[in-house]
Each structure stands twice: as C-alpha cells, then as structure tokens.
Structure 1
Amino acid sequence: MTSIGIYGSLGRMGQAIADIAPSLGATIAGGADMADDPADIARKADVLVDFSAVAALEAHLNAARAARTPIMIGTTGLSPRHHALIDEAAQHIPVLQTGNTSLGVGLLARLVRDAAARLGEGWDIEIVETHHRGKVDAPSGTAQMLGNAAAEGLGTTLAEAGVTDRAGTVGARCTGTIGMASLRGGSVVGDHTVVFAGNGERIELTHRADDRTIFARGAVQAALWLAGQKAGRYTMDQVLGV
C-alpha cells in the first residue's frame, strides 16, 4: 500500500487524515510538526501531504525535492512567493496544491468556471465564505480557489478582478470584478456560496461542509493519485478527471 507522510500531523486535518487513510488503502509513514526534521519523513513516505503552517512550506518543499517525494499541499494563506516556490519544486517532483481537498468543492470550482465563461461580464460575481471563529486567514483558500475559477472563466485573473474591501464610500460596483466577503463565527466547518447576479435574476452555487472528514478523504484520494504522476504542478480538477 502507498505510504503517506503528514506535515502538520498533530493538527485537526493531520489527525483526520491519519484516521481515514487505512480505509482508503493507504498507510501512514509518520508525521512531522514544527519541532521535527521534515527531511526524515520525506525519505520514509511514498507521498507527502502538508496541512501545516505557511512558514514551514519552503522547508517542506525542499525536503520533498531532496527525497524525490511527491507532495500534496493543502495549507492556505499562500503568497505569490509561495506559489513561485511551488512552481520551482514542480519542475522536479509532482506537486498538487489546492485551497480545498473536498471533491465536492473541486466540482463546484469547475461549475463556477463554466458558469462565468457562459454568462460573461454581464453577470456580477460575488463569493461569500463562512468559517469557524478560529480561522486565521481571509478570504479562505477555498474562496480564492473559487475566485480563480471565476476569473479564468472570464478570461482574467483574480489579482486583477478580485475585490475584498468595500469599506467606506467606494462607489458603484465595477463591471467584471469578483467580490469576496468573509464571515467568521462559531464552529462552522466551511460554507461557500458563489452568486451570479444578473438583471432580474440570480444564480447561487453553494457548498456546505458539515464534517471535516470530507477534506481528509479528499486529501488521501489526491495523495494516492499524485503518487503515480510525473513531475509537474497539479490541481484537484485532474484528480476528479474533469
């Protein structure tokens, strides 16, 4: 069976992955956290999953490259520099980076991309995400993933079209922008709604996560798929085969 090494093994996602992996045909090679040497687990595992801290990503990529071990990255809050590091690593090993490992969210992103492409700039796009009170980054990685999908459908980028701050007198909404709003409270695992608002009508595409297990299951399935790939950068679209 394929063995999985977990970066961030003591976190909620790390523990959930360790719990569900055997039922999906995988074993756990071990885990590493902030005080551990990331190279050790990289040498032991067939594939790595990273749900740790952004600050540790560079060290984890370096360890994966040195060991020639594929790595699936689910850590959110990445900067352009982190994406550049991922691009560099992907020239040498298989790397899958995603803002959400739920297979349902992966399908939602595809629907959002298709809807944006078909509806065009005549429809305003707004993304609303809700998470538990302890989440430290906003907009969520999933909201950015959906925003990127919408931007791709419109033939632009989220960096160009995204709007996250409307405080104050900001004027009327600009055509072609993609708004993102973040709500925080309670114990919400993760709710995401993409609104396409036209004149006199509205389409809403929603995904609600009720159990963190869905992310762990998707992460393991993505890791098992990634273990058989050649060097390159991959997405959940490819895991889904869409």
Structure 2
Amino acid sequence: MWLLLIRKYLCIVILLLCIGNKNTDTLITDSLSIYDNHPTLKISEAKHLQWVDSVLGVKGVKLIDCRNGIYQYDDTRFYWNRTFDYFLVYPSSFTHGEESDLSNGNHFVNEDSTICLNVYATYFDVFKDDYSLHEWFDMMIDSEIEQGNRIVKKDITDHSYAIEGNTKGGRCFYSKATCKKSYERDIIVTVKLEYTDSKKEEARAIICLYNSISDEYTWKDISIEWTK
C-alpha cells in the first residue's frame, strides 16, 4: 500500500515538473536520458535536409533552426521532435523557443504573447506496469486542478484526452494528451494552448489544425497533401 502511494507521488511530481516548466529541464534528466537513443546528427545542413526529405517523402523542406527542430515546407511551419518522433504544425508568425535539454518539447508564442503553445512528450511504458492509461490520464488531469486551473470541458477516449478551462491567472486553456507508438516505445504527447479571451478565434483555428493532423494524418498522408 505504502509502496503504491510513494510511486503515485513520484509520478505526480514528475508530471508537475513537465507541465510547469516550459523548458522541462528538471531533475528527471537522468531518468529519461537512458531511453534517448536518437542523438542529433552532426552532419552538414545540406545532408541533414537530404535526410529530412527522404524521411518525410517530400522535396524542398527548409531548415529554420536545426538545434530546435524547426522546419518549413511551402507556407507550413512545423516543429519536428526527432527524439520522440512527433511533430507540431504551428502558425509561421509565432516565435519558437529552445528545445528542452531533455529534447522532449518546445514552446511557441505570438507577437504579443497573448497565445502560448507548449508541447512535450513523456514515456508512458515506464509506468504502465503500475498504472493503466486511463489512470495516468486521471493523474494528469488532477495535476491541472492542483495547479489552480478550472476545467469546464473534458473528453477522454481510449488513447487520448482533451480538456478546456481557465488558468489560475485568468487565461483560457486547451490541453490534449495522446498516447502513441514511437520507436517501439509507448509515449504520451501533450499539447497545451493558453490564450486570452480576445484570441479565442485564433486559438480555435490552431486547435482544429492540430486535431485534424494528429488524429487523422501520418507524415505519408501529409506528404501526399503537400504534393497535390
């Protein structure tokens, strides 16, 4: 009984550290780094882009910021996290941040910081012997409430959850966590959008874009759309 409570406490601490810090560079660096078998390739920009084109199945991807995983294809700006193999399309007018020391996420803001977009990934298979996915989702949602955020809408499926509400500081927020496979590992990718009430329309467009791509498309599908 005590062992289970201790494990749950440690999981909540890790979760709060990931959510509460934009750069997610925390004390859990050592515990996650042992699973990182995909270091950044030290190659020329030309060879890197040649590799990117071959992986994504398109030609002409532009490298915006290699260190922080920022690319562009035509008018589409996207963040590609190569360590966990997920991506996030975001408005090209947004400014990107620095990828975390754990290489698990990044953050983006519009010009006046009225919209903030955060994304990060965590390994779920480390904990799945102790928790079901639904239990882990419940813990993540509980952590939002513990931070003082008010949840007004919640939707949980077999592999994801989405919540909406207001932050302690009075902003609106939308958060979605999705469990997926990456390099034969089970990971959870979490996206959180915070915005002022005056930016609700713009924020809703970003949410719709993210959901349409993350739920219905793979890189192969997007490549087909891009080349039409």
TM-score by length of 2: 0.26
Point out the structure with the larger strand share: 2
TM-score by length of 1: 0.25
Q: Which has the higher contact order (CA 8 A, sep 6+)?
A: 1
Point out the structure with the larger helix share: 1
